[in-house]
């Protein structure tokens, strides 16, 4: 059996010491159910807490990206990855074995260049947020746009399209989804959003920001994407409660 992994799971993390342990526990449990050899890479994106030490203690390989920009962190992880298949998971997201199996089956079919999953939050306090999730999942499936918390693709496709664009501070998964879908069509492949099972992710931002702030940021990504080239206008992804 090859010593090199077939699958690389890449987790960008900025000051995620409180969350990264649970994420790695979920990822490692999901990996243990699969026959494919895999690796986990945590990209410490200029953290000032114990993110790196916590990740290393959980068995992840840690790489560092000093510039705090989500796309750069994702690309830094991909540059260090050894797998043929790349899976990007947020540090507050918990994929299970069934989702990982569905992902690997899709990539292994040769018909899928990449994709994502429908999302499910661990907690949502307002009906407006629940409606927002339903709306996003519908748009995601229809428009073939992967949520940033869970995106997968082949290494070949990732490299052909140039990885995540580093011209933006957020929304890089939307741009990559579109480029991967176009590249896939030219090769008889599809970019697929998996219907089931969904990926479980944290609803912590619903506690940090109000419904209208979430709606505003969603509209910015979909309708005014050039605004994401500004770090100031991308505050939603870089601001946390003190």
pLDDT at res. 232:
87
Taking the C-alpha atoms of residue 172 and residue 225, their distance in angstroms, rounded to an integer, is: 10
Cβ atoms 151, 173 nearer than 8 A: yes
pLDDT tens-digit series, residues 176-234 = 999 999 999 999 999 999 999 999 999 998 888 888 888 888 787 778 888 899 988 88
How is 126-167 classified by DSSP, letter by letter? SHHHHHHHHHHHHHHHHHT---TTEEEEEHHHHHHTTSS-SS
- With a pLDDT cut of 90, the percent of the chain lying above it is 76
Cβ atoms 71, 166 nearer than 8 A: yes
- With a pLDDT cut of 70, the percent of the chain lying above it is 99
Taking the C-alpha atoms of residue 235 and residue 237, their distance in angstroms, rounded to an integer, is: 5
Confidence tier at 160 by pLDDT (50, 70, 90): very high
Cβ atoms 52, 30 nearer than 8 A: no
pLDDT tens-digit series, residues 16-63 = 999 999 999 999 999 999 999 999 999 999 999 999 999 999 999 999
Structural domains of the chain, ranges and CATH numbers in brackets: 7-237 (3.90.550.10)
DSSP tag of 214: H
**Strands 190-201, 150-154: pairing kind:** unpaired
What is the arithmetic mean of pLDDT over 129-143?
89
pLDDT at res. 102:
98
pLDDT at res. 1:
42
What is the arithmetic mean of pLDDT over 105-121?
97
Q: How distant is the alpha carbon of residue 124 from its chain centre?
A: 20
**Residue, of 225 and 149, whose pLDDT is higher:** 149
């Amino acid at each position: 059996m090859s010593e090199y992994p077939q699958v690389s799971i890449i987790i960008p993390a900025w000051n995620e010491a409180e969350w990264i342990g649970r994420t790695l526990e979920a990822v490692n449990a999901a990996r243990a159910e699969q026959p494919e050899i895999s690796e986990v890479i945590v990209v410490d994106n200029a953290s000032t807490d114990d993110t790196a030490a916590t990740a290393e203690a959980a068995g992840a390989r840690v790489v560092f990206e000093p510039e705090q920009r989500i796309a750069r962190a994702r690309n830094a992880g991909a540059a260090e990855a050894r797998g043929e298949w790349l899976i990007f998971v947020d540090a507050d997201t918990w994929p299970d074995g069934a989702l990982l199996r569905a992902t690997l089956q899709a990539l292994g079919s040769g018909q899928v260049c990449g994709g994502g999953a429908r999302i499910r939050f661990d907690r949502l306090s307002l009906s407006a947020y629940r409606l927002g999730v339903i709306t996003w999942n519908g748009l995601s499936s229809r428009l073939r746009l992967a949520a940033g918390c869970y995106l997968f693709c082949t290494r070949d496709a990732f490299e052909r399209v140039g990885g995540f664009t580093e011209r933006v501070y957020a929304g890089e998964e939307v741009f990559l989804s579109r480029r991967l879908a176009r590249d896939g069509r030219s090769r008889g492949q599809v970019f697929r959003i998996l219907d089931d099972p969904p990926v479980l992710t944290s609803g912590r931002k619903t506690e940090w920001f109000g419904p209208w702030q979430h709606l505003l940021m969603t509209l910015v990504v979909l309708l005014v994407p050039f605004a994401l080239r500004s770090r100031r206008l991308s505050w939603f992804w870089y601001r946390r409660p003190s």
